[in-house]
Amino acid sequence: MELKRVVVTGLGALTPLGKNVADYWQGLTDGVSGCDYIKQFDATKFKTRFACEVKDFDPTTYLDKKEARKMDRFTQFAIVATDEAVKDAGITPENVNPDRVGVIWASGIGGLITFQEEVVGFANGDGTPRFNPFFIPKMILDIAAGQISMRHGFRGPNYAVVSACASSTNAIIDAFDNIRLGRADIIVTGGSEAVVSAAGVGGFNAMKALSERNDSPQTASRPFDKDRDGFVMGEGAGALVLESLEHALARGAKIYCEVAGGGATADAHHLTAPHPEGLGAKNVMATALKDAHLKPEDIQYINVHGTSTPLGDLSECKAILSVFGEHAYDLNISSTKSMTGHCLGAAGSLEALACILSVTKDIIPPTINHFTDDEAFDPKLNFTFNKAQHRTVNAALSNTFGFGGHNASVIVKKFKA
Protein backbone atom coordinates (compact mmCIF):
# COMPACT_ATOMS: atom_id res chain seq x y z
CA MET A 1 0.00 0.00 0.00
CA GLU A 2 1.05 3.59 -0.53
CA LEU A 3 1.89 5.25 2.76
CA LYS A 4 0.40 8.66 3.51
CA ARG A 5 2.66 11.64 4.12
CA VAL A 6 2.52 12.99 7.67
CA VAL A 7 2.98 16.61 8.70
CA VAL A 8 3.06 18.56 11.96
CA THR A 9 0.25 21.10 12.29
CA GLY A 10 0.24 22.00 15.99
CA LEU A 11 2.66 22.39 18.91
CA GLY A 12 2.33 22.81 22.66
CA ALA A 13 4.80 22.97 25.53
CA LEU A 14 4.98 23.35 29.29
CA THR A 15 8.62 23.46 30.37
CA PRO A 16 11.16 24.67 32.92
CA LEU A 17 11.93 27.46 30.44
CA GLY A 18 8.37 28.66 29.88
CA LYS A 19 4.74 27.64 29.83
CA ASN A 20 4.18 27.78 26.07
CA VAL A 21 6.02 27.07 22.84
CA ALA A 22 7.15 30.65 22.23
CA ASP A 23 8.72 31.02 25.67
CA TYR A 24 10.28 27.55 25.49
CA TRP A 25 11.92 28.33 22.13
CA GLN A 26 13.09 31.75 23.34
CA GLY A 27 14.70 30.14 26.36
CA LEU A 28 16.41 27.52 24.22
CA THR A 29 17.83 29.96 21.70
CA ASP A 30 18.92 32.36 24.44
CA GLY A 31 20.74 29.56 26.22
CA VAL A 32 18.84 29.89 29.50
CA SER A 33 19.14 27.35 32.31
CA GLY A 34 15.83 26.19 33.78
CA CYS A 35 17.50 24.79 36.89
CA ASP A 36 17.15 25.99 40.47
CA TYR A 37 16.79 24.65 43.99
CA ILE A 38 13.77 22.38 44.41
CA LYS A 39 10.57 24.13 45.53
CA GLN A 40 8.08 21.22 45.50
CA PHE A 41 9.40 19.48 48.61
CA ASP A 42 12.10 19.92 51.25
CA ALA A 43 15.20 18.47 49.59
CA THR A 44 17.76 19.76 52.10
CA LYS A 45 18.70 16.24 53.24
CA PHE A 46 19.04 14.83 49.71
CA LYS A 47 22.30 14.39 47.83
CA THR A 48 20.77 16.44 45.01
CA ARG A 49 18.79 19.52 46.03
CA PHE A 50 18.01 21.04 42.63
CA ALA A 51 16.00 20.29 39.50
CA CYS A 52 14.51 21.90 36.41
CA GLU A 53 10.96 22.46 37.65
CA VAL A 54 8.04 24.08 35.85
CA LYS A 55 7.99 27.41 37.67
CA ASP A 56 4.91 28.72 39.54
CA PHE A 57 2.54 26.19 38.03
CA ASP A 58 -1.07 26.63 39.18
CA PRO A 59 -3.30 24.02 37.53
CA THR A 60 -6.44 26.05 38.28
CA THR A 61 -5.20 28.67 35.80
CA TYR A 62 -5.96 26.12 33.11
CA LEU A 63 -8.42 23.67 34.68
CA ASP A 64 -11.53 23.73 36.81
CA LYS A 65 -10.44 23.25 40.42
CA LYS A 66 -12.60 20.16 40.87
CA GLU A 67 -11.21 18.55 37.71
CA ALA A 68 -7.61 19.46 38.58
CA ARG A 69 -7.94 17.58 41.89
CA LYS A 70 -8.71 14.41 39.96
CA MET A 71 -5.40 14.59 38.08
CA ASP A 72 -1.79 13.94 38.98
CA ARG A 73 0.63 16.71 38.05
CA PHE A 74 1.82 14.78 34.97
CA THR A 75 -1.75 14.68 33.61
CA GLN A 76 -2.27 18.37 34.36
CA PHE A 77 0.87 19.06 32.35
CA ALA A 78 -0.44 16.93 29.49
CA ILE A 79 -3.75 18.83 29.38
CA VAL A 80 -2.03 22.23 29.31
CA ALA A 81 0.38 21.29 26.51
CA THR A 82 -2.23 19.54 24.37
CA ASP A 83 -4.71 22.41 24.76
CA GLU A 84 -2.08 24.69 23.24
CA ALA A 85 -1.28 22.23 20.44
CA VAL A 86 -4.92 21.62 19.51
CA LYS A 87 -5.60 25.36 19.44
CA ASP A 88 -2.42 25.96 17.43
CA ALA A 89 -3.52 23.34 14.89
CA GLY A 90 -6.89 25.04 14.48
CA ILE A 91 -8.81 21.83 15.24
CA THR A 92 -12.53 22.42 15.73
CA PRO A 93 -15.58 20.10 15.79
CA GLU A 94 -16.49 21.51 12.39
CA ASN A 95 -13.27 20.67 10.55
CA VAL A 96 -12.42 17.18 11.84
CA ASN A 97 -14.17 13.84 12.26
CA PRO A 98 -13.65 12.99 15.95
CA ASP A 99 -13.72 9.27 15.14
CA ARG A 100 -10.58 9.84 13.06
CA VAL A 101 -8.66 11.85 15.68
CA GLY A 102 -6.59 9.88 18.20
CA VAL A 103 -4.35 10.46 21.18
CA ILE A 104 -1.13 8.55 21.77
CA TRP A 105 0.52 9.90 24.89
CA ALA A 106 3.61 8.91 26.85
CA SER A 107 5.17 9.08 30.26
CA GLY A 108 8.14 7.25 31.67
CA ILE A 109 6.76 6.88 35.18
CA GLY A 110 3.29 8.45 35.39
CA GLY A 111 1.66 9.42 38.68
CA LEU A 112 4.56 8.93 41.06
CA ILE A 113 3.64 11.98 43.15
CA THR A 114 0.13 10.64 43.69
CA PHE A 115 1.46 7.19 44.54
CA GLN A 116 3.91 8.64 47.06
CA GLU A 117 1.25 10.82 48.72
CA GLU A 118 -1.23 7.98 49.10
CA VAL A 119 1.27 5.43 50.43
CA VAL A 120 2.84 7.92 52.85
CA GLY A 121 -0.63 8.92 54.04
CA PHE A 122 -1.51 5.29 54.74
CA ALA A 123 1.84 4.59 56.43
CA ASN A 124 1.41 7.59 58.74
CA GLY A 125 -2.17 6.62 59.68
CA ASP A 126 -3.54 4.10 62.13
CA GLY A 127 -3.64 1.26 59.64
CA THR A 128 -7.19 1.99 58.52
CA PRO A 129 -7.23 2.04 54.69
CA ARG A 130 -8.25 5.57 53.79
CA PHE A 131 -7.32 6.11 50.16
CA ASN A 132 -8.46 8.79 47.76
CA PRO A 133 -11.09 7.30 45.40
CA PHE A 134 -9.13 8.87 42.53
CA PHE A 135 -5.83 7.29 43.66
CA ILE A 136 -5.71 4.72 40.87
CA PRO A 137 -7.20 6.87 38.07
CA LYS A 138 -4.73 9.65 38.96
CA MET A 139 -1.72 7.35 39.09
CA ILE A 140 -2.02 5.09 36.05
CA LEU A 141 0.13 6.10 33.15
CA ASP A 142 -2.51 5.81 30.43
CA ILE A 143 -4.90 8.23 32.12
CA ALA A 144 -3.37 11.30 30.44
CA ALA A 145 -4.34 9.97 27.00
CA GLY A 146 -7.83 9.26 28.29
CA GLN A 147 -8.21 12.70 29.85
CA ILE A 148 -7.05 14.42 26.64
CA SER A 149 -9.54 12.47 24.54
CA MET A 150 -12.42 13.22 26.91
CA ARG A 151 -11.56 16.92 27.03
CA HIS A 152 -11.70 17.25 23.24
CA GLY A 153 -14.04 14.42 22.26
CA PHE A 154 -11.42 12.57 20.20
CA ARG A 155 -12.57 8.99 19.60
CA GLY A 156 -9.77 7.59 17.45
CA PRO A 157 -6.85 5.38 18.60
CA ASN A 158 -6.11 6.10 22.27
CA TYR A 159 -3.39 4.60 24.42
CA ALA A 160 -0.17 5.23 26.32
CA VAL A 161 3.41 4.39 25.45
CA VAL A 162 6.15 3.69 27.99
CA SER A 163 9.82 3.03 27.26
CA ALA A 164 11.48 5.05 30.03
CA CYS A 165 13.20 8.14 28.63
CA ALA A 166 12.45 7.09 25.03
CA SER A 167 8.71 7.04 25.73
CA SER A 168 7.48 10.15 23.95
CA THR A 169 9.67 9.56 20.90
CA ASN A 170 8.10 6.11 20.63
CA ALA A 171 4.68 7.75 21.00
CA ILE A 172 5.47 10.11 18.11
CA ILE A 173 6.58 7.18 15.96
CA ASP A 174 3.39 5.27 16.79
CA ALA A 175 1.33 8.33 15.88
CA PHE A 176 3.28 8.68 12.63
CA ASP A 177 2.67 5.02 11.78
CA ASN A 178 -1.07 5.17 12.55
CA ILE A 179 -1.51 8.12 10.23
CA ARG A 180 0.64 6.92 7.37
CA LEU A 181 -1.18 3.58 7.48
CA GLY A 182 -4.50 5.39 7.21
CA ARG A 183 -5.83 4.42 10.66
CA ALA A 184 -6.41 8.05 11.65
CA ASP A 185 -6.38 11.52 10.10
CA ILE A 186 -4.91 13.26 13.15
CA ILE A 187 -3.07 12.06 16.26
CA VAL A 188 -2.33 14.28 19.24
CA THR A 189 0.91 12.93 20.65
CA GLY A 190 3.79 13.70 22.98
CA GLY A 191 4.61 13.09 26.60
CA SER A 192 4.57 14.48 30.11
CA GLU A 193 6.47 13.79 33.31
CA ALA A 194 6.32 15.14 36.87
CA VAL A 195 8.43 13.20 39.33
CA VAL A 196 10.33 15.93 41.16
CA SER A 197 9.46 14.39 44.51
CA ALA A 198 11.16 12.68 47.42
CA ALA A 199 10.65 9.29 45.76
CA GLY A 200 11.84 10.47 42.36
CA VAL A 201 14.93 12.36 43.48
CA GLY A 202 15.74 9.80 46.19
CA GLY A 203 15.44 6.92 43.76
CA PHE A 204 17.70 8.44 41.15
CA ASN A 205 20.15 9.55 43.86
CA ALA A 206 20.37 5.97 45.07
CA MET A 207 21.36 4.95 41.53
CA LYS A 208 24.02 7.69 41.49
CA ALA A 209 22.46 8.98 38.27
CA LEU A 210 21.96 12.64 39.25
CA SER A 211 24.42 15.51 39.38
CA GLU A 212 25.26 16.58 42.92
CA ARG A 213 26.53 20.04 42.01
CA ASN A 214 24.49 21.73 44.73
CA ASP A 215 26.71 24.81 44.82
CA SER A 216 25.84 25.71 41.21
CA PRO A 217 22.49 24.32 40.02
CA GLN A 218 22.31 26.46 36.88
CA THR A 219 25.54 24.91 35.57
CA ALA A 220 24.95 21.36 36.78
CA SER A 221 23.67 19.96 33.47
CA ARG A 222 26.78 20.07 31.31
CA PRO A 223 26.67 17.49 28.50
CA PHE A 224 30.03 16.66 26.90
CA ASP A 225 31.94 18.68 29.49
CA LYS A 226 34.87 16.95 31.14
CA ASP A 227 33.44 17.61 34.60
CA ARG A 228 29.91 16.33 33.97
CA ASP A 229 28.69 14.31 36.94
CA GLY A 230 25.19 13.08 36.10
CA PHE A 231 21.90 14.34 34.78
CA VAL A 232 19.59 17.00 36.21
CA MET A 233 15.97 15.98 36.70
CA GLY A 234 13.41 17.98 34.74
CA GLU A 235 9.66 17.97 34.31
CA GLY A 236 7.13 19.21 31.79
CA ALA A 237 5.20 18.25 28.68
CA GLY A 238 5.56 18.53 24.93
CA ALA A 239 2.65 18.06 22.51
CA LEU A 240 2.53 17.64 18.74
CA VAL A 241 -0.41 17.39 16.38
CA LEU A 242 0.45 14.98 13.57
CA GLU A 243 -1.82 14.91 10.55
CA SER A 244 -2.00 13.32 7.13
CA LEU A 245 -0.90 15.77 4.48
CA GLU A 246 -4.10 15.39 2.47
CA HIS A 247 -6.25 16.08 5.53
CA ALA A 248 -4.16 19.10 6.54
CA LEU A 249 -4.39 20.58 3.05
CA ALA A 250 -8.12 19.91 2.83
CA ARG A 251 -8.84 21.92 5.98
CA GLY A 252 -6.27 24.64 5.21
CA ALA A 253 -4.05 23.92 8.20
CA LYS A 254 -0.66 25.56 8.61
CA ILE A 255 2.19 23.09 8.27
CA TYR A 256 5.36 23.30 10.35
CA CYS A 257 7.27 20.45 8.77
CA GLU A 258 7.02 16.84 7.64
CA VAL A 259 7.74 13.77 9.74
CA ALA A 260 10.18 11.81 7.62
CA GLY A 261 10.80 8.61 9.57
CA GLY A 262 11.57 6.92 12.84
CA GLY A 263 13.31 3.95 14.36
CA ALA A 264 13.35 1.89 17.55
CA THR A 265 15.95 -0.59 18.80
CA ALA A 266 17.26 -2.16 22.00
CA ASP A 267 20.77 -2.29 23.43
CA ALA A 268 20.11 -5.69 25.04
CA HIS A 269 23.11 -4.88 27.20
CA HIS A 270 22.49 -3.53 30.74
CA LEU A 271 19.73 -2.41 33.09
CA THR A 272 20.76 1.26 33.08
CA ALA A 273 24.08 1.69 31.28
CA PRO A 274 24.29 2.24 27.51
CA HIS A 275 26.22 -0.08 25.25
CA PRO A 276 29.81 1.19 25.53
CA GLU A 277 30.21 1.40 21.75
CA GLY A 278 26.74 2.84 21.23
CA LEU A 279 25.52 -0.20 19.31
CA GLY A 280 21.81 0.38 19.98
CA ALA A 281 22.15 4.11 19.28
CA LYS A 282 23.97 3.36 16.03
CA ASN A 283 21.28 0.93 14.92
CA VAL A 284 18.38 3.23 15.77
CA MET A 285 19.78 6.19 13.84
CA ALA A 286 20.50 3.97 10.84
CA THR A 287 16.97 2.56 11.06
CA ALA A 288 15.42 6.03 11.19
CA LEU A 289 17.44 7.18 8.18
CA LYS A 290 16.37 4.12 6.21
CA ASP A 291 12.72 4.64 7.16
CA ALA A 292 12.95 8.28 6.07
CA HIS A 293 14.67 7.36 2.78
CA LEU A 294 17.43 9.81 3.67
CA LYS A 295 21.21 9.59 3.53
CA PRO A 296 23.41 10.66 6.46
CA GLU A 297 24.46 13.78 4.56
CA ASP A 298 20.82 14.90 4.34
CA ILE A 299 20.81 15.64 8.10
CA GLN A 300 22.09 18.99 9.38
CA TYR A 301 21.21 18.79 13.08
CA ILE A 302 21.03 16.11 15.76
CA ASN A 303 19.35 16.86 19.05
CA VAL A 304 21.19 14.23 21.03
CA HIS A 305 20.05 12.34 24.11
CA GLY A 306 23.04 14.02 25.80
CA THR A 307 22.07 13.62 29.45
CA SER A 308 25.39 14.78 30.97
CA THR A 309 26.40 11.34 32.23
CA PRO A 310 29.99 10.14 31.78
CA LEU A 311 29.08 6.96 29.87
CA GLY A 312 26.00 8.04 27.95
CA ASP A 313 27.43 11.12 26.24
CA LEU A 314 30.48 9.23 25.04
CA SER A 315 28.65 6.18 23.67
CA GLU A 316 26.21 8.38 21.73
CA CYS A 317 29.06 10.26 20.06
CA LYS A 318 30.69 6.98 19.07
CA ALA A 319 27.39 5.98 17.45
CA ILE A 320 27.12 9.28 15.56
CA LEU A 321 30.62 8.91 14.16
CA SER A 322 29.86 5.34 13.13
CA VAL A 323 26.64 6.23 11.29
CA PHE A 324 27.57 9.59 9.80
CA GLY A 325 31.27 9.12 9.07
CA GLU A 326 32.97 12.26 7.76
CA HIS A 327 29.61 14.03 7.56
CA ALA A 328 29.52 13.96 11.38
CA TYR A 329 31.92 16.91 11.30
CA ASP A 330 29.45 18.95 9.23
CA LEU A 331 26.60 18.34 11.66
CA ASN A 332 25.43 20.62 14.41
CA ILE A 333 24.95 18.56 17.56
CA SER A 334 23.36 19.90 20.71
CA SER A 335 21.78 18.74 23.93
CA THR A 336 18.88 20.91 25.03
CA LYS A 337 18.89 18.95 28.30
CA SER A 338 21.65 21.36 29.30
CA MET A 339 18.79 23.88 29.68
CA THR A 340 15.66 21.84 30.44
CA GLY A 341 17.24 19.08 32.46
CA HIS A 342 16.21 15.52 31.68
CA CYS A 343 12.42 15.49 31.46
CA LEU A 344 12.41 11.67 31.32
CA GLY A 345 9.29 10.46 29.49
CA ALA A 346 8.60 13.98 28.21
CA ALA A 347 12.13 14.48 26.89
CA GLY A 348 11.53 13.04 23.43
CA SER A 349 8.54 15.26 22.72
CA LEU A 350 10.25 18.43 23.92
CA GLU A 351 13.38 17.62 21.93
CA ALA A 352 11.38 16.71 18.82
CA LEU A 353 9.69 20.08 19.23
CA ALA A 354 13.13 21.73 19.34
CA CYS A 355 14.02 19.93 16.11
CA ILE A 356 10.76 21.03 14.46
CA LEU A 357 11.42 24.67 15.33
CA SER A 358 15.03 24.33 14.24
CA VAL A 359 13.86 23.09 10.83
CA THR A 360 11.21 25.82 10.69
CA LYS A 361 13.41 28.71 11.79
CA ASP A 362 16.92 27.58 10.73
CA ILE A 363 18.40 28.04 14.20
CA ILE A 364 20.31 25.45 16.24
CA PRO A 365 19.79 25.77 20.00
CA PRO A 366 23.03 25.44 21.99
CA THR A 367 24.54 23.06 24.49
CA ILE A 368 25.14 25.39 27.41
CA ASN A 369 27.39 24.99 30.45
CA HIS A 370 30.50 23.99 28.55
CA PHE A 371 33.61 24.92 30.49
CA THR A 372 36.24 22.24 29.95
CA ASP A 373 36.90 20.13 26.85
CA ASP A 374 36.92 16.38 27.33
CA GLU A 375 39.70 14.76 25.31
CA ALA A 376 37.56 11.61 25.03
CA PHE A 377 35.43 13.35 22.38
CA ASP A 378 36.54 13.95 18.80
CA PRO A 379 37.50 17.67 18.75
CA LYS A 380 36.11 18.07 15.22
CA LEU A 381 32.52 17.45 16.36
CA ASN A 382 30.43 20.62 16.62
CA PHE A 383 28.46 20.48 19.89
CA THR A 384 27.08 24.02 19.39
CA PHE A 385 28.56 25.02 22.71
CA ASN A 386 27.09 27.92 24.68
CA LYS A 387 25.54 29.92 21.82
CA ALA A 388 22.85 29.23 19.23
CA GLN A 389 23.95 29.01 15.61
CA HIS A 390 22.11 29.96 12.45
CA ARG A 391 22.22 27.61 9.48
CA THR A 392 19.80 26.10 6.98
CA VAL A 393 18.29 22.99 8.53
CA ASN A 394 16.57 20.81 5.94
CA ALA A 395 16.33 17.79 8.23
CA ALA A 396 16.92 17.14 11.92
CA LEU A 397 17.15 13.95 13.96
CA SER A 398 16.17 13.56 17.62
CA ASN A 399 17.64 10.77 19.78
CA THR A 400 16.20 9.42 23.01
CA PHE A 401 17.45 6.44 25.01
CA GLY A 402 15.95 4.89 28.13
CA PHE A 403 16.75 2.58 31.03
CA GLY A 404 16.26 -0.99 29.91
CA GLY A 405 18.18 -0.28 26.70
CA HIS A 406 15.29 1.34 24.79
CA ASN A 407 16.35 3.55 21.87
CA ALA A 408 14.15 5.71 19.64
CA SER A 409 14.94 8.27 16.94
CA VAL A 410 12.65 10.44 14.85
CA ILE A 411 13.49 12.60 11.83
CA VAL A 412 11.66 15.75 10.72
CA LYS A 413 12.31 17.73 7.54
CA LYS A 414 11.20 20.88 5.79
CA PHE A 415 7.82 20.50 4.13
CA LYS A 416 7.77 20.62 0.36
CA ALA A 417 4.49 20.26 -1.47
Active site residues: 165, 305, 342
Task: Give me the phi and psi of 367, to 5 degrees please.
Answer: -100, 110
CA dist 385 and 387 (Å) reads 6
Residue 281 dihedral angles phi and psi, to the nearest 5°: -65, -40
Beta strands 101-106 and 158-161: pairing type?
A: parallel
Q: What is each CA distance from 118 to 56, 94, 113, 142, in whole angstroms? A: 24, 42, 9, 19
217 phi and psi angles, rounded to 5 deg: -55, -40
- Amino acid of residue 351: E
Q: In angstroms, rounded to a whole number, what is the distance separating the alpha carbons of residues 301 and 351?
A: 12
> What's the CA gap between 331 and 193, in Å, rounded?
30
- The alpha helices in 135-252, defined as continuous H runs, are 135-139, 143-152, 167-180, 198-206, 245-250
Pick from 363, 371, 374, 299: nearest CA to 338: 371
Measured at the CA of 192, the angle between CA 191 and CA 196, to 5 degrees, comes to 150
